[in-house]
Amino acid sequence: MDPGFRMHAERTPNPQSIKWVLGQAVAGEAGRAAFREAPASEVSPLGARLFQVEGIESIFLGSDFVTVTKDTGRDWSELAAAIVDAIKDWAASGAPALGAAFEPPARGDESEVVSRIRKILDRDIQPYVAQDGGEIVFADFRDGIVEVYLQGACAGCPSSTATLKMGIEARLKEEIPEVLEVVAL
């Protein structure tokens, strides 16, 4: 492991999620990835290691952090040391967080409105959501309704409804009159 390797944990608004900030790149060029079940090690060596820890519900890999969400029946005191060990083992291995078999979601042809929605989500919303160990992913836009996925610490967070309506929905409506509502899938 790199002697300069550093890592620290940060609480998130979601009590079931902790964000581990690493002193190195995690998701690399892919930018981010979320897993709700154990990926093959060819898809994500880091994800495969983390899911070996019993009690992990999901993981989110960001630019320089890993957000781990535990199931509600577990206490962080039971899981934290094993999670830290899994991250340190991965860092020492030199393997990428996302392997050669990882395929980011494809983007199809987009309308001008969808392009504007994505731009606002990426530029104005995502940096704030990432600070809390989460991510918002655009899913669809139809009949004035923007559908998104909340991942990482945002999935299941008690304050996610307020963030969705008062933050994300308000911001999109302010810039794009075609947006009537934002819903999480």
Q: What is the pLDDT along the chain (185 residues), one digit of tens a residue?
A: 555 678 999 888 888 899 999 988 888 776 788 898 999 999 999 999 999 999 999 998 988 889 999 998 899 999 999 999 999 999 999 899 999 999 876 666 678 999 999 999 989 988 888 888 888 888 889 889 998 888 888 887 778 778 788 889 999 999 999 999 998 87
- SS3 string, the chain, reads CCCCCCEEEEECCCCCEEEEEECCCCCHHHCCEEECCCCCCCCCHHHHHHCCCCCEEEEEECCCEEEEEECCCCCHHHHHHHHHHHHHHHHHHCCCCCCCCCCCCCCCCCCHHHHHHHHHHHHHHHHHHHHCCEEEEEEEEECCEEEEEEEECCCCCCCHHHHHHHHHHHHHHHHCCCCCEEEEC
**How many whole angstroms separate alpha carbon 130 and alpha carbon 126?**
6
What is the pLDDT, as a whole number, of residue 152?
Answer: 82
Give all domains of the chain, ordered by start, each with its CATH number: 7-93 (3.30.1370.70), 112-184 (3.30.300.130)
**How many whole angstroms separate alpha carbon 177 and alpha carbon 11?**
36
pTM for this entry: 0.72
What is the pLDDT, as a whole number, of residue 28?
Answer: 77
What is the pLDDT, as a whole number, of residue 137?
Answer: 83
